[in-house]
Chain A
Amino acid sequence: MSSMSNTAPAHLTSPAVPLLEVRALSVAFQTRGGTAHVLEDIHLHLRRGETLGLVGESGCGKSITALALMRLIPQPPGRITAGQVLFEGQDLLQLPEAQMRHVRGNRISMIFQEPMTSLNPAYTVGDQIMEPVRLHQGLDAHAALARAIDMLKAVGIPDAERRVHQYPHQFSGGMRQRVMIAMALACQPDVLIADEPTTALDVTVQAQIFDLISDLRERTGTAVLLITHDMGAVAEMTDRVAVMYAGRMVEEGPTDLILSRPCHPYTQGLIACAPGHDTPSHGEPLQEIPGSVPSLLERHGGCTFAERCSHVQARCHTSVPPSTWVQPGHRVMCWLYPEGAPHA
């Protein structure tokens, strides 16, 4: 197929209009050292009931993308410089704050990485789950408490009738993350943004939380945006994945395709450099990505990965690679794929 520009409408690749669509989103932060281009030209879409993984190293802008969707970027120093966030066709970035509040926590809600710091220690978990329900759905105290208990049961907290009146410190890390999920899902949102939801947890507890998110998604049809740095989590949880590097998207597509045949050299490196626990190791060195992530302050015209890329060409340093569809639904931003023809 022929090359399309990165403004190709998403309905060309997906049958239904997406629930949430991010178009050409750019975010900059003003710092003492100059303007940091934290996000540049981000395109994403999320359909009902699907899980999209957003993967990349620390500082690549994946959490900022989530905060921008929720309009939670501190302004100043941050600023959304361009783009649209279309939720059911409506641009969230243009909504008055009062209306945005009806979306945030109600239609789109978020789980953060640190269940220890994102719960208020001075209120019972029941109060914290009831707050969004009463605010957004106008339930009275009695009905809200019943909903809170139901939610705690749904996320697998035993003895919910008693636990609902306890404080966060009386819960373990995994249990607190369940409370966060209960809180986020209490209003039955259309979109759940999970920002590294299991990074602070042990692997056996992580497996429980992943099972829980998958079950709830199947039952309620909530679309999930899973932000992670772990390719294993991507493989386990997602239908599609978008790879970010230094504030830009480098590749996006179905998870099966990206894991089995990654196109962008960065994605290839990211997959190859992590030692797997179920692949035998024969003492060979791991594949490295040399160097480190470039500063977001100094932007030159080219590909942000050029300095570390083993396939670098002259034009990589001078012009930003176009977004090319190598297959329907599989997009890559790299000069190795200028005309959309898949290269080996």
Chain B
Amino acid sequence: MRESLLQVRDLCVHYPIQGKLFQPKTTLKAVDGVSFDIECGRTFGIVGESGSGKSTTALAVMRLAPVSAGEVRLGDSPISSLQGEALRTERKRFQMVFQDPFASLNPRVRAGQAIRDALDLMAVGEPGQRDALARTLFLQTGLRPEQMQLFPHQFSGGQRQRIALARALAGRPELLVCDEPVSALDVAIQAQILNLMQRLQKELRLTYLFISHDLGVIRHMCDDIAVMYLGQFVERATREDLFAQPLHPYTLALWSAAPSMASRNQQRKLRIRLQGDPPSPLQVPSGCRFAGRCPFAEDACRASPPALREVRPGHHVACHRVSDSGQALYPLPTVS
């Protein structure tokens, strides 16, 4: 077991919502008690549906969303409590790639200048060397140095995501937080960017926090995976365990909902079909948050929230209907 680079403990991001006239204030619990570690050089994935809090978790780690409670540590550095200049200088060590490369690049700044600006801001190397550094970053991310003079609109989506990667790598970070980095791209381009990210991870010994809603992408990229629902992890395990033996009913439902080429031949595959939409994070149910949509919920599930507990080495699940030895106590889905 290698040393963990990022440690997140009981992270909460709560937003106060101003009530309407004569109505009390409420709290939107976007992230509500999330803990995980990422070891050096590994990729930790968070998968979930929209509104589950996976992007907010990423933003809170980046200190771009307010941390209401809990702690985030990067190595020895308590990044959740740093302020001002101390935070700014520490930012070199953790950088982010956003989903939409059309929105995350300034349309009026030439691609080379965008990289150069990042190098200048973080004071990487001597000023005289920075143009050469920018060229190196361009080459590393599969762009041609002569493209440094172009504006963002002259690049395709995949190329823009390469620029975003080059910019994020400018400060030679240890941790790269990637929020849906390929969701805006076509599948053929997706593969190029995912391969590039894996190559860069090896070459630069990067650690990734990887957010995606796409199970295929998550499975391909991540060593450890957490499934998130309404602000909390419902299951967390290694990739192998999670895909071989998913335990939480929500994980099973996600797996069975995702259309796939491989399952076509199993005429009617094992499936759990969920009814309805996820509830609003403003009205979080008092018991298990998934109980309202769970086909296997019992009275106990609605009464008290289950804790995330380790049922097998490295495999954590928050469900009343999974035994302490990691056996599902609910009937496994039948062929319908």
Contacts and interface: CB of A to CB of B under 8 A. Distances in A.
Contacts of B261: 231-232, 234-235, 259, 271, 274, 276
A203 interface: yes
Interface in A188-239: 202-208, 210-211, 229-237
A236 B259 contact: yes
Interface bracket on A: 35 or more
Interface stretch (B3-11, B69-77, B95-103, B185-193): B185-193
A287 B264 CA distance: 21
Given A203-B213, A208-B273, A229-B187, A278 B260 contact: yes
A233 B274 contact: no
Interface stretch (B28-36, B116-124, B216-224, B307-315): B216-224
A182 interface: no
Nearest to B264: A235
B243 A275 contact: no
A34 interface: no
B194 interface: yes
B219 A275 contact: yes
A283 B192 CA distance: 14
B259 A274 contact: no
B262 A279 contact: yes
Given A275-B217, A277-B243, A204 B257 contact: yes
Contacts of B189: 292
Interface string B179-221: 0000000111111101100110000000000000101111110
A98 interface: no
B40 interface: no
A229 B190 CA distance: 13
A286 B49 contact: no
A200 B186 CA distance: 15
B15 to A, nearest CB: 20
B253 interface: yes
A276 B191 contact: no
A299 B49 CA distance: 41
A181 to B, nearest CB: 16
A172 interface: yes
B219 A273 contact: no
Given A259-B264, A274-B187, A281 B213 contact: no
A273 B191 contact: yes
B133 interface: no
Contact of A207 (B156, B190, B273): B273
Contacts of A231: 187, 261
Nearest to A228: B259
A270 interface: yes
A174 B293 CA distance: 15
Contacts of B195: 285-286, 288
B199 to A, nearest CB: 8
Contacts of B278: 202
Contacts of A290: 192
Given A203-B254, A207-B273, A288 B262 contact: no
A255 interface: yes
Interface in B267-298: 271, 273-275, 277-278
Contacts of A210: 259
B311 to A, nearest CB: 22
A57 B186 contact: yes
Interface residues of B, number: 43
Interface in B46-60: 49-50
B198 A285 contact: yes
A275 B258 CA distance: 12
Interface string B238-273: 010001000000000111111111111000000101
A202 B50 contact: yes
A331 to B, nearest CB: 21
B158 interface: yes
Nearest to B195: A285
Contacts of B262: 276, 278-279
A277 B274 contact: no
A7 B205 CA distance: 56
B277 A287 contact: no
Contacts of B191: 273-275, 286-289
Contacts of B187: 57, 229, 231, 270, 273-274
A204 B187 CA distance: 21
A81 interface: no
Given A57-B187, A204-B49, A286-B194, A276 B277 contact: no
A232 B258 contact: yes
A58 interface: yes
A236 B264 contact: yes
Nearest to A232: B259
Among A173, A288, A290, the one with the most B-chain Cβ atoms within 10 Å of its Cβ is A288
Contacts of A205: 277
- By Cβ-Cβ distance, the 4 closest A-B pairs, closest first, are A277-B215, A232-B259, A275-B220, A207-B257
Given A58-B186, A230-B259, 8 more contacts: A202-B213, A203-B258, A235-B261, A269-B188, A275-B191, A275-B219, A288-B195, A292-B159
30 contacts: A57-B186, A203-B258, A204-B253, A207-B274, A208-B274, A210-B259, A229-B186, A234-B261, A235-B260, A235-B261, A236-B263, A236-B264, A237-B259, A255-B264, A273-B190, A274-B191, A274-B261, A275-B194, A275-B217, A277-B258, A278-B243, A283-B198, A286-B195, A286-B220, A288-B192, A289-B188, A289-B191, A292-B156, A292-B158, A292-B159
Interface of B: 49-50, 156, 158-159, 186-192, 194-195, 198-199, 213, 215-220, 239, 243, 253-264, 271, 273-275, 277-278
